[in-house]
């Protein structure tokens, strides 16, 4: 249970910490402010990141950078799919119309894969879920 809770806190800390910076970037944009429920998104992503990291820790995937990149890519594909087909985020936030809006389906997995392979993996490593910690234990 402790590993799960620790994994949840590590995973949710990154989006919870960076979310205010995202809000500052979109401050004053009337189109974006009214079209997206930013309060829901601000609660949803930390919980999603936390649950995903807790699951990866329990499955043992957090011990390898490639495993974390794969988890991030899958999460990015799911998020980009929901954002593209369900919420029209590429059009609302980035102004992408027509076929250009489907770029999110490529960018989402790449971005999330990088986020999970770099800062989230590094946090897991620091808090002793990664390869180095496994080597120290046995």
Pick from 32-36, 69-73, 103-107: least confident: 32-36
pLDDT given for residue 138 in this prediction: 41
Count of domains observed in the chain: 1
Determine whether 57 is exposed, middle or buried from the number of CB atoms within 10 Å of its CB (0-12, 13-18, 19+): buried
pLDDT given for residue 25 in this prediction: 60
What b/e string do you get for 60-77 counting C-beta neighbours within 10 Å, with b at 16 or more? Answer: ebbbbbebbbbbbbebbb
**Containing domain of residue 69, as a range?**
2-137
Closest CA to 108 of 120, 116, 118: 116
pLDDT given for residue 109 in this prediction: 95
* 46 pLDDT more than 80: yes
* 79 pLDDT more than 80: yes
Are 8 and 54 a contacting pair, CB within 8 Å?
yes
pTM for this prediction: 0.76
Q: Where are the alpha helices (DSSP H) in 26-63?
A: 30-35, 38-59
């Amino acid at each position: 249970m402790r590993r799960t809770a620790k994994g949840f806190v590590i995973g949710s800390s990154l989006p919870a910490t960076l979310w205010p910076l995202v809000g500052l970037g979109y401050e004053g944009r009337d189109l974006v402010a009214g079209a997206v429920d930013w309060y829901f998104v601000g609660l949803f992503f930390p919980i999603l990141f936390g649950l995903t990291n807790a699951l990866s820790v329990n499955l043992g995937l957090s011990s390898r950078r490639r495993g974390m990149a794969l988890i991030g890519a899958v999460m990015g594909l799911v998020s980009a799919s929901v954002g593209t087909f369900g919420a029209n985020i590429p059009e609302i936030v980035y102004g992408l119309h027509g076929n250009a809006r489907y770029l999110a389906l490529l960018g989402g997995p790449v971005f999330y894969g990088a986020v999970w392979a770099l800062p989230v993996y590094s946090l897991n490593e620091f808090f002793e879920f990664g390869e180095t910690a496994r080597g120290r234990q046995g």
